[in-house]
Structure 1
Amino acid sequence: MEKLLKTLTELHGPSGYEQEVSYYIQEKMRSVLDEVNVDGIGNVTARMKGNKPGPTVLVTAHMDEVGFIVKKIEPNGLLRFEKLGGHDDRILLAQKVRVKGRYGLKRGVIGTIPAHYQKFDDAGRVRKHHELYIDVGARSKEEVAKLGIDVGSTVTWASELEYLGDEETGRFVGKSLDDRAGCAVLMKLVESLRDRDFAGEVVALFTVQEEVGLRGAQVGLAPIDCDVAIALDATVTSDTPEALLDDTLQLGGGAGIKILDMSLIAHPTVKDHFIELAEKESIPYQPELFTGIGTDGGAVALANKGVPTGVLSIPSRYSHAPVEVIDMEDLKAVEQLLVAFVKENDEESAFAF
């Protein structure tokens, strides 16, 4: 899992530009399954049938990460940018980034004024992203062009997956764990079902453009008819000392079982089944109720004629930052609960409201 997670998180795939991630997942899924399809905007769908009759289970995770896009190139070679997805302007200053141009990835940094100027500035003012710029070392527009960077070039954080502390902590820090961690769990599910010893059918949907409004899921779901759906996504913990946080979801506390977010009221039957399974299999879990986020589960639930939908969440600290943190035990709990859900199904399984 660690190796897969490292590969996935270090791919460049901001919203709308997920090609690297999409191609990688396509290749891996085709080495396991015969039926792998890619739609016009990059969603990857892989289907596998079990050796017994049963329900069709859709499991989805999104491939995109929050990023930026170059909006303007200044005469002195600095780059103005727009956001792709939700960012907190307070953490942008002095961060390393990677800019993807015609000649591959180039290193850059979001500029800031030196600390020596602080006494001449309003230190409490948060500079909005449209006031900021990316420095790629160029001295002019012409030098930017030689780097292969144009208006429309995309930008992601320049951080790699590493142990937080050391390997003894079991915690990882890096970019795009939201939601490459979910993608890793979904890929592991497909791999674990290679023997086809399960009931029904599993449809794995890897979506694009979740961070800009659940757009990929809305397209990817159109041709899929399923009996129940599960979205896999990172969620935010509330276990650090900030006064705003209420310690209702902890890093290392187990899989998050969604109750409510701004996009979805989890289907009661699906949610209760997750809780029963977790307790039966002694899988650590914690209820998740937070209105500050949404997932592809919100789009899935409203698809076609309506789909009973639940969400398994991977607790994460410092979400949408270059230093997202997850606990490997939480990730394993999500994987175990997902596999148990699929394996538990039989011909009689139903998820009526």
Structure 2
Amino acid sequence: MNYQQLIHDLVNAKGAPGFEDEVLEVLYNYKGSYTMQSDNLKNAYYNLDQLDPHKPTLMLDSHTDEVAFMVKAIDERGLIHIQALGGWLAEHVSAQHYLVRDRLGNYHPGISTSKPIHFMTAEERAKKITLADLKIDVGASSRQEVIEDFKITIGQPIVPATEFAFNERNQVMFGKGFDNRIGVAVSVAIMNEMQDYLKDLPFNLVAAFAAQEEVGMRGAVVTSKRVNPQMALVFEGTPSDDFTADQYLEQARLGRGPQLRYRDNSYIANEWMLKRFNQLASENNLPLQHAVREGGSTNAGSIHLSNQGVPVATLGTPTRYAHTNYCFCSYKDFENTVKLSLAFIKNLTAENFKQFELK
């Protein structure tokens, strides 16, 4: 089945941390025959109400939020001061197109400020800018105009204005928020492909879509408690390093398949799961990349420490220019992430779970 429209809808949805409502609407539209539940943190779940207490549970995790900003203050000139929601570099933010929500839920186009080169001194051109130097301009001329006419108030979300596009020639997708809407799409696709197999599985299968990952993996703290999984797969839009290292250090190139993450700052992957994914990739002739990350984190950090400890592995779909307004992601990589995950799930047995039972 083709999932391009699903990815289109997920990527274009606006979902700053804490404001993931549009993403949940897309999830509801694509839930198929599954039931969908949600909670007070705006986490969502497929199939949660069908848990058999006599079976172990495999949880598919992905996060619905994207890196964004929040209105921090509005000055006398009508410029919006911003608070980052997630990790941004100032040089990636300047002179970009954003959408600012008003108190009625409407979004207004805005431009992040940049001083014209005509007015800059040599010292200013050489100076490194910071996020504190940047504001969002919605085309107003006063604080009063922003508040009264635009109806923009403190605490409103701000997201990149990028629209999804697809290159048929090389199957590469363009848009914002592939971290982690591509992981969400992987989870939805897997659940769709597994609908006819659920009754025969020796375990429960639940997809959990977590909120607020970009601000501290908060949603996954709740989802892991509510689902109580005995094993979990985390799906991410992992940063691509195509142009940042030599071939022996590259860990996630576009078009080279999913990335299996062995460790990052939040977790060390379960050894049995790592071996199993490597075995299945070889048996099914599927591409697989390998990463020992020096930094970064995913919901695996919250999930593997939940309950009394959960075996977890993370599969990432490479994303060029993650945490910026404009990203590339390969549809072929998405397909191969889904294929490898399905091979893992369909070959998972009750005995595989028993090895992780507490002694």
**TM-score (structure 1 length as normaliser):** 0.93
1:238 maps to 241
2:168 maps to 167
Distance 1:210 1:351 in 2: 30
What letter matches 1:153 in structure 2? Q
CA contact (8 A) 2:238 2:252 kept: no
1:17 maps to 19
Distance 1:14 1:92 in 2: 15
Distance 1:97 1:338 in 2: 35
2:63 counterpart of 1:62: yes
2:115 counterpart of 1:76: no
* Alpha-carbon offset, residue 159 of structure 1: 0.5
Q: Deviations over 1:66-115 (max 9, x none)?
A: 00011111112111111011101111110000011134110000010112
Distance 1:44 1:351 in 2: 28
What letter matches 1:346 in structure 2? T
Q: Deviations over 1:298-347 (max 9, x none)?
A: 11100100001101111111110011111111111111111111111233
Matches within 5 A, 1:316-327: 316-327=319-330
Distance 1:84 1:39 in 2: 21
* Alpha-carbon offset, residue 348 of structure 1: 2.7
Distance 1:330 1:160 in 2: 20
2:316 maps to 313
Q: What's the % identity of the aligned pairs?
A: 29
CA contact (8 A) 1:227 1:351 kept: no
Distance 1:56 1:321 in 2: 35
Distance 2:26 2:206 in 1: 18
* Alpha-carbon offset, residue 351 of structure 1: 6.6
Distance 1:336 1:55 in 2: 23
CA contact (8 A) 1:43 1:207 kept: yes
The correspondence for 1:116, drawn from 99, 115, 118, is: 118
Distance 2:90 2:33 in 1: 42
CA contact (8 A) 1:269 1:352 kept: no
- Greater alpha carbon shift after TM alignment, 62-71 vs 252-261: 252-261
What letter matches 1:42 in structure 2? K
CA contact (8 A) 1:55 1:349 kept: no
CA contact (8 A) 2:175 2:326 kept: yes
CA contact (8 A) 1:181 1:331 kept: yes
- Greater alpha carbon shift after TM alignment, 311-320 vs 113-122: 113-122
* Alpha-carbon offset, residue 26 of structure 1: 3.4
1:94 maps to 95
2:266 maps to 263
Cα distance change, pair 111–55 in 1 and its aligned pair in 2 (3 A) = same
For structure 2, the 5+ residue unaligned runs are none
What is the aligned-residue RMSD (CA, Å)? 2.1
Distance 2:336 2:269 in 1: 19
2:204 maps to 201
Distance 1:24 1:168 in 2: 27
* Alpha-carbon offset, residue 128 of structure 1: 1.2
CA contact (8 A) 2:319 2:329 kept: yes
Matches within 5 A, 1:141-220: 141-145=143-147, 146-163=149-166, 166-197=167-198, 198-199=200-201, 200-220=203-223
What letter matches 1:97 in structure 2? Y
1:223 maps to 226
Partner-residue secondary structure (3-state), 1:251: coil
2:44 counterpart of 1:44: yes
Q: Looking at secondary structure, tell me which structure has more strand per residue.
A: 1
For structure 1, the 5+ residue unaligned runs are none
Distance 1:220 1:241 in 2: 34
- Greater alpha carbon shift after TM alignment, 138-147 vs 76-85: 138-147
Distance 2:334 2:51 in 1: 25
- Greater alpha carbon shift after TM alignment, 174-183 vs 234-243: 234-243
- Greater alpha carbon shift after TM alignment, 40-49 vs 256-265: 40-49
Distance 2:183 2:340 in 1: 13
* Alpha-carbon offset, residue 124 of structure 1: 2.5
Distance 2:135 2:29 in 1: 36
Distance 1:219 1:338 in 2: 24
* Alpha-carbon offset, residue 215 of structure 1: 0.5
- Greater alpha carbon shift after TM alignment, 220-229 vs 65-74: 220-229
Partner-residue secondary structure (3-state), 1:58: strand
1:352 maps to 355
Distance 2:83 2:223 in 1: 26
1:342 maps to 345
1:134 maps to 136
- Alignment length (residue pairs): 348
* Alpha-carbon offset, residue 28 of structure 1: 3.0
